[in-house]
Amino acid sequence: MSVIQSYRDLRVWQLGMNLATEAYRVTKAWPREEMFGLTSQVRRSASSIPANIAEGFGREASGSFAQFLRVAQGSLKEFETHILLAIRVGLVDGPAADALLVQSDDLGKMLGSLIRKVATSDVRSSPRSGRTTIRLVTDDRRPTFDEASSQ
């Protein structure tokens, strides 16, 4: 069981920030006429992912947090769709797109896992410190040596 005191402690938020950063880097080379089209859509959907994770964490309730994680997951699917469209119209080449899509897929798996864990966990604000903590309750731990040998 781990205690997370800030959304910045969440690996899924960190990976979301990495994906958004990479999306900005890749779209920087796109044509100027796409600035208010696909470039904007890719950047907005990518930046929405970690933003929704952070906003949900700040709501201090498991149900709200899970809902914002679902919104982040939706933004991730929107991002993937924009990248696939960018491939089709020739804005991004295969290797750059593949790297983005692999990152996106990994992030999607992590988001799905976190949504399931948050739904069964305790999310609350500490009255003394005012900080939000998450106690992730999971049963996916590895058995101890004694437990494994008795099976």
Can you give the pLDDT at residue 98?
94
3-state secondary structure of 57: helix
From CA 151, how far away is CA 81, in angstroms rounded?
Answer: 46
Whole-number pLDDT of residue 120: 81
Predicted local confidence at residue 60, as pLDDT: 76
84 within a domain of the structure (yes/no): yes
**Residue 135 confidence (pLDDT):** 54
Residues 6+ apart with CB under 8 A from 42: 23, 26, 27, 79, 82, 83, 86
Question: In terms of residue numbers, what domain contains 25?
Answer: 7-121
- pLDDT for 134: 55
Task: Say which residues have a Cβ less than 8 Å from residue 4's Cβ, sequence separation at least 6.
Answer: 10, 133, 134, 136
In this prediction, residue 44 carries a pLDDT of 98
Residue 139's pLDDT is what?
Answer: 42
Q: What is the CATH number of the domain that holds 90?
A: 1.20.1440.60
Regions of the chain with pLDDT less than 50: 1, 137-151
Q: In what order do the strands lie in the sheet with 122-125?
A: 3-4, 132-135, 122-125
Residue 151 in domain: no
Question: Phi and psi at residue 23, in whole multiples of 5°?
Answer: -60, -40
The structural domain count of the chain equals 1
Please write the tens of the pLDDT for every residue from 80-122. Answer: 999 999 999 999 988 999 999 999 999 999 999 999 998 887 6
**How far is Cα 137 from Cα 12, in angstroms, rounded to an integer?**
17
Give this prediction's pTM. 0.79
